[in-house]
Structure 1
Amino acid sequence: MSVAKHIARALPAQRVALLIYLLYISGYFFGITALVGAVIAIIYRKCPDEVVATHFRAQVRLCCWSLLWVVLGGLTVKVGVGYIVLTTWFFWSVWRIAQGLFALSKHRPTT
């Protein structure tokens, strides 16, 4: 039996989605945890519960866009534009995580 099937049997999908959001939050302090959360979200992306599956897809998108904007912001810090990019990314990602947590608590799909 694969690791993904063992994890799927051990934890309900809604708790896994919550765990991923918490990993993303801790990613602001320890960057690697956000990547771990993204890998878990990729594994659970095809969840049978369609409402929770929207959260996994949104979490994967959030990680991909975050990687893009953090790299872009890091490359342009010396020009001065990078600080604006990184600040905008930070507030956008906090907003997306908060929206996702709120929707997950109400068992609603996320956008």
Structure 2
Amino acid sequence: MNDVKILLCCGAGMSSGFMAQKARKAAKKRGINVTVEAKSETEAAGFLPTVDILLLGPHYESHKGKFVEMAKPFNVPVDVIPQRIYGTLDGDKLLDFALETIEASTNK
């Protein structure tokens, strides 16, 4: 897989910032070339043309439809990070979740 660009989004970008840091460390350990950025809800739309996936914090599950519509013109898959991953700040599992979601969206 080529360079992968993952965008995480939560309300202000704070908790997703910690999650992004953990995912970057996990990718580095695995030798995977991944960029993981965390942005606030208001910033996320501006980054959609340049990312491979948008992952939302679990508390944004009710807003997923809005983000799916925003991402559609850019063919960017959108999903909600499971609470079991987000709540434990598990960078390895987040990385797996992101890569599996990207793979599933390209095989449609």
TM range (shorter): 0.3 to 0.5
Relative to its length, the structure with more helix (as a share) is 1
Q: Which has the higher strand share?
A: 2
Question: Quick one: higher RCO (CA 8 Å, sep 6+), 1 or 2?
Answer: 2
- Calculate the TM-score normalised by the size of structure 1: 0.34
Larger Rg: 1
TM-score when normalising by structure 2: 0.35
